[in-house]
């Protein structure tokens, strides 16, 4: 079955499968399965792409006719070597022909309690990277992460805060990621999505379930299995003018233990049922 | 040693030891140890108080000369029987002669994705309880909990949101709790503390450490062990006009495994070093 012939192709037109949803699935298998299922886009991660080989990965997805909807991730501006790492990430995004490089800012430096300072370092880093990103045709997509990650992964915790930062720059160069898992709880999120408008660089979807596992990283769920009003959030990004891909990105240890093909099939079904 | 003779008494004048920091410590021992250490206030919880006997507990703390700085907790407005449970909690607070009843709103009802609806139920419940609280001389102290508890414990996730609710009522009847553990990550928290002013019904202190344990409830730390700028937050509530007690309330499985007296001693030291 090809994308053109698939009955789901119309409804999958905006769907993108984020590689992290089936972590460990070999890239060639993932790409072939996406093509077979009529999935038009994939969200890729730097580490598995580097492992496969950057140019080879770029060729693989291009030859398959897939769009790389985003590259995860740059950022971590509070660690040493952030500048070089992010310049490389921009190049990688350009090579993969994706316009959106997802940035996770990083947490507090070890031993620090200076949250304002860490946040200001993010602004400084964006200012330094923006010209390079613009030259490469890549947008820096600032992703606010759930406040439970504030100390150790991402000091940018709300969409409002991400926009306060992003708005210092050209919307074509610095945008924001709207991820349902990270933002659903915020009583200001709908106002902020409207404010975001053409700064929405990516829309990522995962559901919230409890109890959270130790470390809280791998407790996400496929759309429909949790308590997030995904369709309302999706309607909100659409109403804000977003017409781009809808990436399903789920970190879940149980999901990762299953064969990639089964994960993709369940993800497509969950997307069609609860998001599309 | 008595409170009046203790060299720490001046610096402990605003300190309150929340019972949950040494969960399982028999109330009589806790009260005696607080008196011996020159601790002037305790924050109590309904379940251990009921176990000991409400009137008996009220007499115990009164005879010891301790102030009950708050009672935890009412709320859980999205569960059946919330009305009766909260009317009882108001009575218990009055019996214990505390002016502050901490309310944790409750999460989403099972299977629900209607976060706005759950939040509106909190407002309705406050409207219903406010006259009873006012008559009893008890303030309803709305506590925003960290967003990681939004789905299952508390749909009120930020101080701004708690104030939006509280401001519908007389500040003498409905206030807010500022808990450093729940609010430290919020880039608007200092603005909201200033806004809160005389609505600050309680100031609770715990520190943030990672990795979070499974279920994320018992991952807090004594002041100074984590990344929260506790003194800045304490200065902010003071600048907002708050002159009330400073309760150290830490949920930590490791702490709970130790003898109450040792926990109290460490808590006093942590308070004096990082908060007072």
Q: What is the pLDDT of residues A90-133, one digit of tens each?
A: 999 999 999 999 999 999 999 999 999 999 999 999 999 999 99
Structural domain boundaries in chain A = 15-274
Whether residues B212 and A210 touch (CB distance < 8 A) is answered with no
**Is B253's Cβ below 8 Å from some Cβ in A?**
no
**Is B123's Cβ below 8 Å from some Cβ in A?**
no
- Could you tell me if A161 and A139 are in contact, meaning their C-beta atoms sit under 8 angstroms apart? no
Q: What would the two tokens of residue A95 be? A: 């090579």
**What pLDDT sits at residue A6?**
52
Q: Among B147, B211, B226, whose Cβ lies nearest the Cβ of A147? A: B147
Q: If you count them, how many residues does chain B have?
A: 276
pLDDT confidence tier of residue A8, bands split at 50, 70 and 90: low
pLDDT confidence tier of residue B4, bands split at 50, 70 and 90: very low
**What pLDDT sits at residue A67?**
98
Q: Kindly report the CA angle at B155 between B154 and B159, in degrees rounded to 5?
A: 90
**What pLDDT sits at residue B9?**
63
Residue B5 pLDDT exceeds 50: no
Residue in A closest to B119 by C-alpha: A187
**What pLDDT sits at residue B78?**
85
CA distance, residue B213 to nearest chain A CA (Å): 4
Best CATH choice for the domain A15-274 from the list 3.20.20.150, 3.40.630.10, 1.10.10.10, 3.40.50.150: 3.20.20.150
Q: Kindly report the CA angle at A100 between A96 and A104, in degrees rounded to 5?
A: 115
Which residue do the tokens 């009330």 mark? B244
Q: How many CB pairs under 8 A join A and B?
A: 88
* Average pLDDT value for residue range B212-241: 97
- Return d(Cα B74, Cα B163) in angstroms, integer: 18
Q: For A124-165, how does the pLDDT look when each residue is reduced to its tens digit (9 = 90+)? A: 999 999 999 999 999 999 999 999 999 999 999 999 999 999
The CA distances from residue B99 to A230, B75, B138, in Å, are: 41, 16, 5
Residue in B closest to A230 by C-alpha: B113
**What pLDDT sits at residue A78?**
85
Testing the interface with A: which of B207, B209, B210, B223 to mutate, by most A Cβ within 10 A? B210
Residue in B closest to A159 by C-alpha: B187
**What pLDDT sits at residue A9?**
62
**What pLDDT sits at residue B167?**
98
**Residues of A whose CB is below 8 A from B147:** 146-148, 185-186
Q: Is the ipTM of this complex over 0.90?
A: yes
**Is B157's Cβ below 8 Å from some Cβ in A?**
yes
**What pLDDT sits at residue B8?**
52
- Return d(Cα A13, Cα A10) in angstroms, integer: 5
* Average pLDDT value for residue range A32-59: 98
Q: For B59-106, how does the pLDDT look when each residue is reduced to its tens digit (9 = 90+)? A: 999 999 999 999 999 999 988 999 999 999 999 999 999 999 999 999
**Is A216's Cβ below 8 Å from some Cβ in B?**
yes
């Amino acid at each position: 079955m090809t994308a053109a012939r698939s009955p789901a192709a119309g409804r999958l037109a905006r769907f993108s499968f984020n590689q992290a949803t089936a972590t460990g699935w070999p890239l060639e298998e993932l790409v072939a399965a996406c093509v077979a299922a009529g999935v038009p886009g994939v969200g890729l991660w730097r580490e598995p792409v580097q492992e496969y080989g950057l140019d080879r990965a770029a060729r693989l997805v291009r030859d398959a006719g897939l769009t790389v909807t985003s590259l995860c991730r740059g950022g971590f501006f509070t660690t040493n070597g952030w500048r070089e790492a992010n310049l490389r990430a921009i190049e990688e995004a350009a090579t993969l022909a994706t316009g959106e490089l997802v940035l996770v800012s990083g947490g507090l430096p070890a031993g620090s309690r200076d949250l304002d300072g860490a946040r200001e370092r993010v602004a400084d880093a964006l200012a330094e990277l923006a010209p390079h990103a613009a030259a490469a045709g890549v947008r820096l997509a600032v992703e606010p992460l759930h406040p439970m990650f504030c100390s150790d992964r991402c000091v940018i915790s709300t969409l409002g805060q991400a926009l306060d930062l992003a708005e210092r720059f050209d919307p074509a160069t610095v945008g924001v990621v709207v991820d349902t898992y990270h933002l659903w709880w915020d009583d200001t999120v709908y106002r902020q999505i409207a404010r975001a408008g053409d700064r929405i660089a990516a829309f990522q979807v995962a559901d919230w379930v409890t109890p959270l596992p130790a470390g809280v990283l791998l407790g996400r769920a496929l759309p429909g299995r949790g308590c997030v009003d995904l369709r309302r959030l999706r309607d909100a990004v659409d109403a804000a003018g977003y017409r781009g891909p809808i990436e399903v990105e789920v970190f879940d240890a149980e999901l990762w233990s299953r064969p990639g093909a089964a994960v993709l099939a369940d993800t497509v079904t969950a997307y069609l049922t609860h998001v599309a």
